[in-house]
Amino acid sequence: MLGISIYNGRVNFIRTSKLRNNDLCVTHHGFYTYSNLNKTISNSIRDIIKKEKITNETSLSLVLDSQFCLFNQVFCEDIDSLNFHDNLSGASAIKHLDSYYYPIGARDDQYLGIHVDKNFKQQVTGAIDKLGLSIKSMGIGIFSAEKLASSLFDAKSLNKYLIVRFVTSSAMEVLYVNDGLFCLYGRYNIVKKGLKEIKAIGSKVDQKDVRLALEQIAKGRKSLSHIDRAFVYQTSGQSKIVKSLINKKYKDVVLMNLFNHKNISSLRQNITTSMSQLTFAELGVLFGSLNV
């Protein structure tokens, strides 16, 4: 299976194949960079197929950077009435977006809305169609990373865990799971005085625990107070916090390096290589079944 994650000027790819014991083996991985988003969309998948000499693939799993999406919170008792016209203002913008809604938190009427520009989505799917490929699944970055945490890092055995993406060295995107439920999606910035909340969607009860855990991570603490474990990765830049975790073994804060998910000493790499490997965490959709 071929997996591709698309960012503004970069595409990551992984190709896996099944061994006789049904374990997955990574046969290809890497990235290509482009000067702008249009070239990323039009050239990247063709370049990967051609330059990496990938054959016998008829479909791929696609992951879009969450920066291409809009997120909102919707309260609705009747799931059948979840649509833009009933729940969002700004009717002129509605026709340009595809929307998807997912339960978030313990309440029965609370949903996370994820909205993708239709033209952007059509450009991407059109480029794939031209190559004679189909899309097996389409995911959003941090949600795909959660599947990696669940499948390779055993997050599914935990009661409370946090996925932390460093978008840059000071900007974080988070996804919190409590008792098997997505309970909070948020974005935060690290500032001089601590932590600045940009967006938090989901359980108000869990927000305090998430914020405390992020503050502890930002201060360099490797043990967390009210959350079992935080799984950390970075897609751009080189955070000092992330660097400090490389080649370390901590119970509560774990780097999501899929190329060394057991943190084996003989497989450890230098900081530059490790930082690069972390960017592939969002291709966790290859190792799980969550689609958005």
Question: Each residue of 158-190: pLDDT tens digit?
Answer: 999 999 999 999 999 999 999 999 999 999 999
What is the Rg, in whole angstroms, of the alpha carbon atoms belonging to the chain? 19
Q: Which residue has the tokens 């190792």?
A: 287
Cα–Cα distance, 131 to 251 (Å, whole number): 44
Q: Residue 71: is its pLDDT beyond 50? A: yes
Helix, strand, or coil here: 244? Answer: helix
Q: Report the run of H or E that residue 153 belongs to, with start and end.
A: none
pLDDT band at 80; cut points 50, 70, 90: low
Please give the Cα distance from 188 to 224 (Å, whole number).
18
Q: Find all residues with CB under 8 Å of 127, minimum gap 6, and list them.
A: 41, 42, 45, 46
Write the DSSP symbol of residue 259.
G
Q: What is the pLDDT of residue 291?
A: 37
Question: pLDDT of 244-270, one tens digit each?
Answer: 998 888 889 999 999 888 777 767 788
Q: How confident is residue 90, by pLDDT bands cut at 50, 70 and 90?
A: very low
pLDDT in tens, 3-25: 999 999 999 999 988 766 556 67
CB neighbours of 89 closer than 8 A, spacing ≥ 6?
none
Query: Which is nearest to 127 in space by CA: 215, 200, 37?
Result: 37
pLDDT at 142 over 80: yes
CA separation for the pair 176, 188 (Å, rounded): 13
Q: Which H/E stretch holds residue 118?
A: helix 118-130
Encoding tokens for residue 272? 């530059």
Q: What is the percent of the chain with per-residue pLDDT over 90, rounded to a whole number?
A: 66
Q: Element (H or E) spanning 211, and its range?
A: helix 204-218
Tally of CB atoms within 10 A around 249: 9
Q: What is the pLDDT of residues 208-240, one digit of tens each?
A: 999 999 999 998 888 999 999 999 999 998 899
Tens-place pLDDT, residues 97-129:
898 889 998 888 899 999 999 999 999 999 999
